Amino acid sequence: MTEDLTLNMNAFLPLRDVVFHTLREAILKGELKPGERLMELQLAAKLGVSRTPIREAIRMLELEGLAVTVPRKGAEVARMTEKDMEDVLQIREALDELAASIACRQITPEELSELRKTAKEFEEYTKTGDVKRIAEVDVRFHDIIYQATRNPKLVAMLSNLREQMYRYRVEYLKDEKNYPILVKEHSEILAGLEEKNQKSVKNAMYQHVRNQVRAVKEIIREQE
């Protein structure tokens, strides 16, 4: 179990929700690995709470598909299968292309400027090997595009899909050979948006998602 697990306190949330968000973040960031046991006693001791909020948080994780209870073993972090990945991919491909297409029509000069800055920042961070920061800047790059759609429902759906893949994307970002590919793909997406070329930006976004999913599938196979 990760040594870095600490409770992310929030005075406005019930304790079970605080525990839930703490464990959820640890799973999505890959700090709690697929297949890792979620032992109530150990987690309670680690987070300094009783077993009750741990038990309730695990039930909430199960509802999100992030944890499963295995007979005679107890709860563990859920593994993502290739079928799960295909299901997410089918939806994300369509929604990412839709978001890129809408953003292409209405992205503002200010948003384009922020996108250029973020793309450059991403490239700079790939030279540091700081995977957490690389992932954060990558998320911000896509968030600018999503927000440019002015469609909160679309943004919410894309954010949910991204979170389902997050723990595997972190593994993808640990491999430095992927950095030049990602930098190039960001550049192509940016160019399509600057030119307001919907076909170009949709193709660039499609390839960007496809390349990541191929790599994530390999990670899933290695974990099986």
Are 59 and 92 within one domain?
Answer: no
Average pLDDT over residues 135-150: 95
Query: Which of 80, 17, 99, 8 lies closest to 47 in space, CA to CA?
Result: 8
Q: Of 47, 77, 107, which closes a domain?
A: 77
> Where in 72-195 does DSSP place strands (E)?
74-77
CATH number at residue 116: 1.20.120.530
pLDDT at 4: 67
Write out pLDDT tens, residues 1-27: 555 677 766 657 889 999 998 999 898
Is 7 within the bounds of a domain? Answer: no
The tokens describing 23, both together, are 């464990």
Residue 37 DSSP symbol: B
Instruction: Tell me the whole-structure pTM to 2 decimals.
Output: 0.78
For residue 27, give its domain range.
Answer: 15-77
Residue 111 pLDDT grade (very low, low, confident, very high; cuts 50, 70, 90): very high
- For residue 4, the number of C-alpha atoms closer than 13 Å in the C-beta half-sphere is 7
Are 61 and 158 within one domain?
Answer: no
Are 105 and 138 within one domain?
Answer: yes
Instruction: Give the whole-angstrom CA distance, residue 109 versus residue 193.
Output: 10
pLDDT at 2: 57
Query: Which of 95, 130, 62 lies closest to 206 in space, CA to CA?
Result: 95
Are 160 and 63 within one domain?
Answer: no
Q: Of 51, 77, 103, which closes a domain?
A: 77
Residue 69 DSSP symbol: E
Beta-ladder partners of 70: 74
Residue 216 pLDDT grade (very low, low, confident, very high; cuts 50, 70, 90): confident
Are 62 and 96 within one domain?
Answer: no
Most confident segment among 28-32, 52-56, 166-170: 52-56
